[in-house]
Amino acid sequence: MDNRMYDVIVVGGGLAGLTAAVYSARKGRNVLLVEKNSKCGGLASSIEHNGFVFDAGAKGLINAGIIKPMVNDLGIDLKLIRSKVSVGIADRIIGIDGLADIESYKNLLLHFFPNCRQEVDIVIREMVAMMRYTKTFYAVDNPEFRDIKKDYKYLFKDLLPWLPSFLYTLLKTSRLMEPMEDYLGKWIQSKPLADMVLQHFFQRMPAFFALGYFYVFLDYWYPVGGVGKLGEALLQKYKELNGKLAFSTRIVKVIPSENQLIDEKGNAYGYDKLIWTADLKSFYGIVYPDGLSNEQKSKFDKTKFSVTKAATGDSVFQLFLEVDERPETYSQFTNPHLLYTPMTDGLGDSVRTDFAMLIANWSQANKAEVVEWVRNFVKRNTFEISFPVLRDSNLAPEGKTGIIVNFFTDYRIFQFAQNDGWVDELTGAFENALIDTLSKSIFPNLKEKLIHKFSFTPLSIKEWAGSSGGAITGWAFGQELPVVNKMIKVQKSVRTPFPNIFQAGQWAYSPSGIPMSILTGKIASNFV
């Protein structure tokens, strides 16, 4: 039993937790990092199988003025290379290597929608405007990871000249939080055209973040060795700073009035400050308010209610393919990161309506109906396809290629099938539909060249990452969010109803992502 007292306990070993732990330890604090799995990394992990290295969560890292300066600030030896992106529809694929490629994207849309020239022009016009805003956000290193008291060149040459444009951009984008579907719906009548643009993104994602993403494509980076190398490097730095670790440890009770955590084996851990970087629904479900003042309990009850009722974000289905095909077969037509839509019809209203009816009437649905919906859903979807070996030749056996394919899907259908005892059959239906779709479109020799396959469902993500509903970026858009969601208030995003407990990570801020996880982890460490 661990009855020792720690200056800081960090719960959750994803990138937010690792960042918070490293920076807390660097200040000389006695820190314990608690992780429920046997390794750290969370949604930015890599796995190895049969000599293939796959990225199990994020397929690349968006620098966003955060990751590179953090690596430099900590003196971490991590080699990052550009991860170029391609976009494809049906039989046409274009590379996104610079801002000028927005014209290539325009021509791609016009090729498939020649009668929608005016609508395509509007799409491109709006994307160009949003890209300018996104570029401003990423223009300088985040000051959280620079020593502005000593680095006068950065302060006077970069940061201070940038601040007016940053504040102006904040003002402009704060008015562009309308869901992208509604924003484009004012001008775009063609549903298939809208789907080609919107299926890349989370549902109800604010217009600014979605339509400005073309610029984000230019800020994708990949650690040599796989995405998981960033977490490994942070963990190594934490160990060098004498940080303590508790792997395979699941916290089941938080007692704020006693500054104490209890794990599933009954071990108690005392803390002066606690940083929670795991799922917030889980946190508020295990907090024991006994001993709190009436004021604290009132704040806790109010926050717990808003967090508990809020919907978590989208989840994904991920298929991992080991293929007996040389990497050059793929590099000749695509960059290592590909967003691909096999059909110009898009998902359309009918597929979405069929799904809503399927979920509402699940008890009456039979397996054949569900499988038929899966086939239709998959072949009309948009896929994020990643080829790790095209970035690093050591990530697959000689002459072979590992391919990762994922797309947005709903947690509920897998949960219902699991409750009914046939989730493995449903998973197989998704795998088969995806392989069949890819074989009939972008990878015609896939079936005959396939060596091995395995997949992660939203249920897998929930178990592995600990996220409610298998969400990959926290909270769903288009609702009243239970957390801070304005950049200008990001410092407040780490606060909880308890003065000595802080939160960070995907579920502490919205919209979230790896850069925001790292940033909130650093801010939380500042407070402790």
Under a CB-based contact definition with an 8 Å cutoff, are residues 243 and 21 in contact?
yes
Q: What is the mean pLDDT of the chain?
A: 94
Mean pLDDT for 146-164 is 93
- Over the stretch 295-327, which tens digit does the pLDDT of each residue have? 999 999 999 999 999 999 999 999 999 999 999
In this structure, what DSSP letter does residue 486 have? -
Supply the DSSP symbol for 206. B
User: Where does the pLDDT of residue 2 fall: very low under 50, low under 70, confident under 90, or very high at 90 and above?
Assistant: low
Contacting residues for 221 by C-beta, under 8 A, at least 6 apart = 60, 61, 62, 63, 67, 68, 80, 81, 82, 83
Residues 327 and 74: beta-carbon distance below 8 Å: no
Write down the pTM of the prediction.
0.95
Q: Provide, rounded to the nearest whole percent, the portion of the chain with pLDDT above 70.
A: 99
Calpha distance 279→507 (Å, rounded): 6
DSSP code for 287: B
Asked if the bond preceding 342 is cis, omega within 30° of 0, the reply is no
Q: CA–CA separation, 176 vs 187, rounded Å?
A: 16
Are the C-beta atoms of 409 and 319 separated by less than 8 Å?
Answer: no
DSSP character at residue 347: S
What structural domains and CATH numbers belong to the chain?
5-44+63-78+225-311+478-527 (3.50.50.60), 124-221 (no CATH), 314-468 (no CATH)
DSSP state of 154: I
Q: Tens digits of per-residue pLDDT, 330-344?
A: 999 999 999 999 999
Query: Which residues, in sequence order, are bridge partners of residue 228?
Result: none
222 within 8 A of 391, measured Cβ to Cβ: yes
- For residues 292-319, one letter each, b for 16 or more C-beta atoms within 10 angstroms of the residue's C-beta and e for the rest, the string is beeebeeebeebbeebeebebbbbbbbb
- Residues 197-237: pLDDT tens digits? 999 998 888 888 888 888 999 999 999 999 999 999 999 99
Cα 414 to Cα 121: distance, rounded to the nearest angstrom: 39
Query: What is the rounded distance in angstroms from the CA atom of residue 8 to the CA atom of residue 20?
Result: 10
